A and B are shown apart, each in its own frame.
Chain A
């Protein structure tokens, strides 16, 4: 891209040079400074017409650079016609009168006819105007303009070099009619602009072309020198020789050796140019592939410099942190870290640079990231040090591991729960059996002794044990079913469900003593899963009944429900025993019985309550009262707010 731009500049410079030289020469011809002409006749080697033609070409080139096409082509066509007319005057020996049509020269230098331009100059006008005209129309550099430019270059270069080494034949194709130095310079620059500017046409190597141009000009010059020498020899009848060797044969050998050398160099140039081009293409393909890999990586890839300034980020980084790339680049990478990393990061870098002791670099570790919205999340960070010459960069790969951490935690929790479950069931299942075995032994004693009333009591104790065992097993079944059961949500009439649950408790001994009131509004419904919901309500109510205070004169239970902010809050309130403050942290845990001397519970009731509420996306809460307890569940209305931490469990 940069190269295209600079070649465009070459075009403009060529145009400006032609315009400047043309205008300056026209001004001189009009000013007619006799002294200058006497002192420096070579200045007037460029004719007025040629100066005008160069001015026109210069303007045409500048216009073409500004994306004009037809106008410059028209101007260049005029120049072409002029060149053709001038050349035909030399070829056919005619006089069209154009030489003095615009300006009658006050001096006559370097020409056969006053005001007439040299044939090589005329030819070059034709070549360059045709090349530039074609390019302006085609809007690209085809092979034809390049070939024309090539020819112009050789003619102009030979003429220029002829001036340098004082070889007249190089610019005087017809005696006394020479291409002026100014013209040669203009053509030279124009030819370079024609050949090298614009987009590269298929398959030509600039370096090879430049080499070819140099070689050809050199060989042509050498050949001209040879002919010049031959001409001198024939016209003056002398032979240049030194030490018996013919100078002409020396020169011809020189031409051949040079040609061979140049040929070899050209081949080398071509091969190396082709190789470097292939390498460049390879490199570009490589870079594109690498960029694609980084851009499509699932992990965020961030590069920072030695001060922690972000140099680049890939799209995954934007996704992970919520910042756009431009919000991160140029800022300190600390912005992606929460405290304490944020405050310590400069210190980390300085420490590493001083001691070389790596904490993250080359190792990788779990750290915390901070998103644009301020939330923090666990991430895996691996940092690599990149030493590029004098500068040191660090490239960090980040992976959001929130999900992995959450599932890890869920797994650990589930595992711990399972372990606790196994431990407690092994105890709680065996406990009534061990007790019954003891009672069985005692019963046998009593039977032998014939103490039947005592035996009856002991049997009653055994029955109690088995009831307890049965209750525990029922609870375990409830938990298992709760976990495994697939159930659809449907509208539940809350008031009816509570009434039903109250009825279901009527078999309990204490039931008749307790006043239970259902305050749930008749119109309140909730979208939820009926079986689980029933487990929850039944559990709350039976707890309230079981743990009523026997000493309370008027034991009471009140059930209330309200809808608030898309959630339904159901509370069961009693004036019973309450939960001792010291034991409250054990509420809702597995196998925790909180009441002394009241060991009829399985220790699973509140655990089941919490698990059921959580599986419906809600929570279970306890609020202490002056006397008694208030158990509350808050559930989302409908399926949409399922517990995000535990989505699989329904």
Chain B
């Protein structure tokens, strides 16, 4: 199955730019939805369920983990692939994130075409 839409949750404008650019380069047909923190992301998810979510951990207002808690609690249907994208590779964070059934992958910034390939495979698999 091909990826049709990806929700990028990141408070950093530059990271949003990089994600968008890399995704377009990877497959211009993928629709990119942007959210700048957890609350915004939840708002988006109430409207639609994208094929994949790329999620930063450190964000103001509602960080990645708080978002995951709410997402697990409040939603019955989850995006098929949720990938964490973070700037530091801390074992503790990774373990915590991977406890959620819908979190499939854990990447380190910046986002690369390889990461998207892995996500596409996960979606197909």
Contact = CB atoms under 8 A, between A and B. Distances in A.
Contact of A596 (B18, B21, B36): B36
Contact of B58 (A431, A596, A598): A431
B90 A583 contact: no
Interface string B81-122: 000001110100000000000000000111100000000000
Contacts of A583: 60-61
A594 interface: yes
A343 interface: no
Given A426-B90, A427-B87, A596-B60, A438 B11 contact: no
A209 interface: no
A431 B90 contact: no
A437 B14 contact: no
A355 interface: no
**Which of under 10, 10 to 19, 20 to 34, or 35 or more describes the interface residues of A?**
20 to 34
A582 B37 CA distance: 15
A595 B60 contact: yes
A596 B12 CA distance: 10
A644 interface: no
B109 A599 contact: no
Nearest to A437: B110
Given A427-B58, A435-B14, A461-B17, A441 B110 contact: yes
Interface string A588-604: 00001111111100000
A458 B21 CA distance: 11
A430 interface: yes
A431 B109 CA distance: 8
Contacts of B111: 438
Interface string A343-384: 000000000000000000000000000000000000000000
B73 interface: no
Given A427-B86, A439-B14, A434 B110 contact: yes
A647 B71 CA distance: 46
Given A430-B87, A441-B110, A594 B61 contact: yes
Contacts of B90: 423, 426-427
A445 B14 contact: no
Contacts of A594: 60-61
Contacts of B12: 431, 435, 599
Given A423-B90, A583-B60, A596-B11, 9 more contacts: A426-B90, A427-B58, A427-B88, A428-B58, A435-B12, A435-B109, A438-B14, A438-B22, A594-B61
13 contacts: A427-B87, A428-B58, A430-B109, A431-B58, A431-B88, A431-B109, A435-B109, A438-B14, A461-B17, A595-B61, A596-B61, A597-B11, A599-B12
